[in-house]
Amino acid sequence: MRWVLHVDLDEFLAAVEVLRHPDLAGKPVVVGGRGDPTERGVVSTASYAARKFGVRSGMPLRVAARKIPDAVFLPVDADAYNEMSRRVMDALRGLGITVEVLGWDEAFLGVESSDPEAFATVVRQSVLDATGLHCSVGIGDNKLRAKIATGFGKPRGQFTLTRDNWYSVMGDLGPIALWGIGAKTAKKLDAIGIRTVRELASSSVDEMASRFGPKTGPWLVGLGRGVGSAEVSSEPWVARSHSRETTFQHNLADWDEVAEHVRRLAARVTEDIRAEKRPGVRVEIKLRYAPFFTRTTSRALPDPTLDPSVISAAAVSLLDRFDHERQVRLVGVRVEMVESG
């Protein structure tokens, strides 16, 4: 009688803004960057009213503004979202269950119940009473199924997905409907004739291993069959890395200037890992060329270190691997740390 529930706040950032500004209710609200659609930046969240016009997370703000010229654009307010997220998670923990926090707006719950649907209703009402926010709940016999089920329950609803109805619900959908499969992998599967979840589930494990690798191939077949972990842990999430990035309002053609930005970002990331007292072991650089092509590269550090000069030098050296004939619109630095403990 043990279940996994996945809780996902509906249009979280936009919903928080509507709570703060009730006059925005029902209007197309777009949260992202500094709230200025004339600047470079991306959509963090769009309200459902904005999504009807095709605005999605990750979309450039300028594109969103072209789709909805009269939308309300607001800057990201991390402090406000952190506080509201804390209230949501406290409300969930108050139900006396195991809560595994996944981020600002979602969590897995480990629940023992003979009526998980009724418990999911209690969850939704508890979050609403504590915060004024609506959420959707997916009910499953493992994390994979619970996570996917949430999408069928949105908005403000719930859905149950288990081994009993897995193929009736998921069988004829494309593999991209599975949590963990993106557009690139779906395209590769399509190229070998796998176009549905049912076809993926019935694929030969050995053949998939030969095509995608000894770990990835069998894992993909498992996804098609709805296989996943049912363990929910209340242990705090521990970051594996820290990163910083900046988007330039005008493309940079001077690579000495690009290098200077890398140094500044590396210094900030070093401060982040120093605060955790966990030395860095690998440095990664992300560059987005104009107009919108992103490339990353990384290298291991000779020894674990918290030395900003070592990390900065390693980050700048990675720029040699990029095409200096192209202009740059974004640069980012990420540092992986030694494992906690």
Q: What is the pLDDT of residues 233-260, one digit of tens each?
A: 998 878 899 999 999 989 999 999 999 9
CA–chain centroid gap for 83, Å, is: 19
**Residue 316 host element (H or E):** helix 308-317
Which strands make up the sheet holding 106-112, listed edge to edge? 98-101, 106-112, 2-9, 135-140, 158-161
What torsion do the CA atoms of 139, 140, 144, 147 make, to the nearest 10 degrees?
A: 0
CA distance 332 to 318: 12
pLDDT at 40 over 90: no
pLDDT in tens, 167-187: 999 999 999 999 999 999 999
Q: How far apart (Å, rounded) are the C-alpha atoms in residues 263 and 314?
A: 10
Spatial CA neighbour of 148 closest among 123, 133, 125, 167: 167
Residue found by looking up tokens 């981020």 in the block:
103
Domain 2-11+79-161 sits in CATH at 3.30.70.270
Assess contact for 250 and 291: CB atoms under 8 A.
no
pLDDT the model gives residue 328? 97
Q: pLDDT tens digits, residue range 117-129?
A: 999 999 999 999 9
pLDDT at position 341 over 70: no
Quote the CA–CA distance of 7 and 91 in Å, as a whole number: 12
The domain 166-224 is placed in CATH, from the list 1.20.1300.10, 1.10.10.10, 1.10.530.10, 1.10.150.20, at: 1.10.150.20
Cα–Cα distance measured from residue 330 to residue 246, given in angstroms and rounded to the nearest whole number: 6
Taking alpha carbons only, the member of 75, 100, 92 closest to residue 131 is 92
Rounded-to-integer distance, Cα 114 and Cα 128, Å: 23
CATH topology of domain 241-337: Dna Ligase; domain 1 (3.30.1490)
Structure token pair of residue 251: 């493309």
Q: Tell me if residue 5 falls in helix, strand or coil.
A: strand
Q: How far apart are CA 140 and CA 124, in angstroms?
A: 16
Q: What is the pTM of this model?
A: 0.83
Residue written as token pair 């010229």: 69
Is 106 designated active site? yes
Burial of 199 (0-12, 13-18, 19+ CB in 10 A): middle
| Nearest residue to 73 via CA among 36, 105, 128 | 36
Alpha helices in 113-254 (DSSP H): 116-131, 143-153, 166-170, 183-191, 197-201, 205-212, 216-224
Q: Give the pair of three-digit tokens for residue 185.
A: 């992998």
Beta strand pairing call for 72-74 and 280-289: unpaired
Q: How large is the C-alpha radius of gyration of the chain?
A: 22
Domain segments of the chain as ranges: 2-11+79-161, 13-77, 166-224, 241-337
Query: Is a pLDDT exceeding 80 seen at residue 198?
Result: yes
DSSP code for 60 = B
Question: One of 11, 17, 100, 106 is an active-site residue; which one?
Answer: 106
The CATH number, out of the four listed (3.30.360.10, 3.60.10.10, 1.10.300.10, 3.40.1170.60), of the domain defined by the range 13-77: 3.40.1170.60
> What pLDDT sits at residue 236?
81
Q: What is the Cα 143 distance to its own chain's centre? A: 16
pLDDT tens track for 63-98: 999 999 999 999 999 999 999 999 999 999 999 999
CB-neighbour burial class of residue 290 (10 A; exposed 0-12, middle 13-18, buried 19+): middle
pLDDT at 238: 81
Mean pLDDT of 50-58: 95
pLDDT band with cut points at 50, 70 and 90 for residue 264: very high
